[in-house]
Amino acid sequence: MPEQNLSPRERQLLKARAHQLKPLVLLGAAGLSEMVLREIDRALSAHELVKVKVPGDDREHRAAVFSEIAEKLDAAKVQSIGKTIVLFRPLPPSDEKQQTPESSRQRDDGRSLRAKSKR
């Protein structure tokens, strides 16, 4: 899958959003394995903007890992600062986000916000 391209404005906005994030995935001694790729994919599916920590002092190796992840997961390369890389992949549209006004009045436990508690 080809990696996504971002306009300079989109990249700037994503950098600002990513500034406060902590790395969600840390590559270990094994490097970029299939399990690590699945974890990054899972994080992108849940959060759309993800920081990944890549060990090692070799700048070219980190750049290659960055490109490989972006290409394999169809993500956009936002930025690379030191050993941290930032990836973006938009969330797919889902039916859950299109709620009716009544369903948006539900609390996390499933009860209606208007229901009174009898405690």
User: Would residue 71 count as lying in a domain?
Assistant: yes
- Cβ atoms within 10 Å of 51's Cβ, excluding its own: 21
Residue 73: which domain range? Answer: 8-88
User: Would residue 102 count as lying in a domain?
Assistant: no
User: Would residue 83 count as lying in a domain?
Assistant: yes
User: Would residue 107 count as lying in a domain?
Assistant: no
User: Would residue 114 count as lying in a domain?
Assistant: no
User: Would residue 98 count as lying in a domain?
Assistant: no
Instruction: Check: CB of residue 62 under 8 Å from CB of residue 80.
Output: yes
User: Would residue 48 count as lying in a domain?
Assistant: yes
Q: Which CATH number covers residue 81?
A: 3.30.110.60
- pLDDT score at 105: 47
What tens-digit pLDDT sequence spans the chain (119 residues)? 566 788 889 999 999 999 999 999 998 888 889 999 999 999 999 999 999 999 888 899 999 999 999 999 999 999 999 999 999 999 878 745 544 444 444 445 555 444 444 44
Residue ranges of alpha helices (H) inside 4-58 are 8-18, 34-47
- pLDDT score at 110: 53
Number of domains in the chain: 1
- CA dist 25 and 74 (Å) reads 17
User: Would residue 45 count as lying in a domain?
Assistant: yes
